[in-house]
Structure 1
Amino acid sequence: MEISSVIIVGFVVLLIGISKSAFAGALGVFAVPLLMIKFSAIEAIGLMLPLLIIADIMTVKGFWKQWDSALLKSLIPGALIGIVIANLLIDVINAEDLRYIIALICIVFAVKNILFKQIQLHILNNKVGAYIMSTLSGISSTFVHAGGPPLIIYFSAIGLAPTKFVATAAIFFAIMNLVKLIGFISLGFLTTDLVLTALTFIPLAFVGHWLGIKINNKLDKQLFLKVMNYLLLVLGGWLIFTAN
């Protein structure tokens, strides 16, 4: 592998580690476009999955049993349905259109929380909201590895505390990424070479995880939610900017 490719993959691994442990996977949206600087779209998407799973293992271990079990149970069914829908419609749904939809949702929600805090989105603060947003997360994660924004929007809407926010997102995405393995292998997106490449960057994944934990420990609930809202605004712009 060229040194430039090593640098890019290394940076992405650090980014994913920090993202998972500090910001519930929000920064993961930046990863695929960065990898596509040196890899094809299929290779970038394929390489991302084992990198995400490695980070998932570390984050789940770091936040073991600190997640909201009841909330998790309400999220998993929708996520699984979303993954199935995405795999069934992978030749029908335009991934770029999905990026624009996710981007628009991110921007509208972020602007609402930053400028119009008094407006409450009661439609999301219930089991139906959990089902809708987890399904959307499953679909967008399967297509463009952008499952974070819908989940972050839902967790922000219900005011989830930082530790439960990150821990619940960690176990949620760990389960979802393991399920996604089936589709990725059957579609030929995941190769032995890509898996071996991901495994060589495990030491950097530990560093990213450690940095993420340090960042998360310094953020109280209000500051954490404020950071997440601004991240959603940036993510929405990034998804539009990087669309073909």
Structure 2
Amino acid sequence: MEISAVIIIAIVVLLIGISKSAFAGALGVFAVPLLMLKFSAVEAIALMLPLLIIADVITVKGYWKKWDTPLLMTLIPGAIVGIITANLIIDLINNDYLQFVIASICIVFAIKNIVFKHIELKLINNKLGAYCMSALSGISSTLVHAGGPPLLIYFSAIGLAPSKFVATAAIFFAIMNLVKLVGFISLGLITSDLILTALAFIPMAFVGHWIGVKINNNLDKQLFLKVMNYLLLVLGFWLIIKANIDI
């Protein structure tokens, strides 16, 4: 493997580790485009999953039992429905338009929280909102590898505390990635070489997790939610730029 490819994978693993431990996976959207600098789209997507699962294991262990269990039980059914739905409609839906819709929701929500803080989003601040946003997360994660934003929007809307925010997102995505792994294996995308490559970067995942925990521990709830809102704004514009559509 070329040294440039090794460096890019190392950066991606570090980014994933920090993202999952500090920002509930919000920065993961940037990982696949980085991998695509040296790998084809299919190779990047295939490599991304075992890298994510390794980071999931480390993050879940670091935040073990700190998640909101009742909330998690509300989210999982929606996510599974979303993943199944995505697999059923994968040949029918335009991924770029779906990405554009998700990006628009991110931008509107972020602006609302940054500029119009007094307005409450009661529409999604309930169990139905949890189900709908987790289903959208499952769909967007499967189709456009952007499962984070819908979940981050919901967690921000209910004002989840930083530790539970990160821990619940960690276990949620860990479960969802294991479900996705079944599909990847059935499609022949996961090879022994791919797994060995991912395993070789475990030390970088630990470094990323350590940095992420340090960041998370030094942010109070209000600052954390402010950071998440600005991240959603950046993610929204990033997803729009990536979406190959005419506006």
What TM-score, normalized by structure 2, do the two folds share? Answer: 0.97
Partner of 1:229: 229
Letter in 1 for 2:169: A
Residue correspondence of structure 1 range 25-104 to structure 2 within 5 A: 25-104=25-104
Unaligned runs of 5+ in 1: none
Whichever residue aligns with residue 211 of structure 2, its letter is L
Alignment of 1:1-244 (within 5 A): 1-244=1-244
Amino acid aligned to 1:99: Q
Shift of 1:132: 0.3
Equivalent-residue separation in structure 2 for 1:224 and 1:119 (angstroms) = 19
- Give the Cα separation in 2 of the matches to 1:12 and 1:164: 25
Q: Determine the C-alpha separation between the residues in 2 that align with 1:94 and 1:197.
A: 32
After superposition, the C-alpha distances for 1:37-62 in whole angstroms (9 at most, x for unaligned) are 11111111111100100000011000
Query: What is the number of equivalent residue pairs in this alignment?
Result: 244
Moved more, 41-50 or 87-96: 87-96
Report how far residue 207 of structure 1 moved.
Answer: 0.3
Shift in Å, 1:223? 0.1
Q: Distance in 2 between matches of 1:93 and 1:210?
A: 39
- Taking a change above 3 Å as real, the CA distance of residues 191 and 142 of structure 1, as seen in their structure-2 partners, is same
Secondary structure of the equivalent of 1:88?
helix
Distance 1:90 1:193 in 2: 27
Contact 1:87 1:183 in 2 (8 A): no
Contact preservation (8 Å) 1:107, 1:236: yes
Q: Which moved more, 1:218-227 or 1:3-12?
A: 3-12
Q: Aligned to 1:189, what secondary structure does the other structure show?
A: coil
Q: Deviations over 1:147-197 (max 9, x none)?
A: 110000000000000000000000000000000011111223322222221
- 1:98, distance to aligned residue in structure 2 (A): 1.6
Structure 1 residues 94 and 190: CA distance shift in structure 2, 3 A:
farther
Is this contact kept in 2: 1:137–1:151, CA < 8 A? Answer: yes
Cα RMSD between the aligned structures?
A: 0.9
1:219 counterpart SS class: coil
Q: TM-score, normalised by structure 1?
A: 0.98
Q: Distance in 1 between matches of 2:2 and 2:130?
A: 43
Taking the aligned partners of 1:158 and 1:196, their CA distance within structure 2 comes to 40
Q: CA deviation at 1:141?
A: 0.8
1:92 CA drift (Å) = 1.6
Q: Distance in 2 between matches of 1:209 and 1:144?
A: 25
Percent identity among equivalent residues? Answer: 78
- Tell me the distance in 1 between the aligned counterparts of 2:63 and 2:221: 17
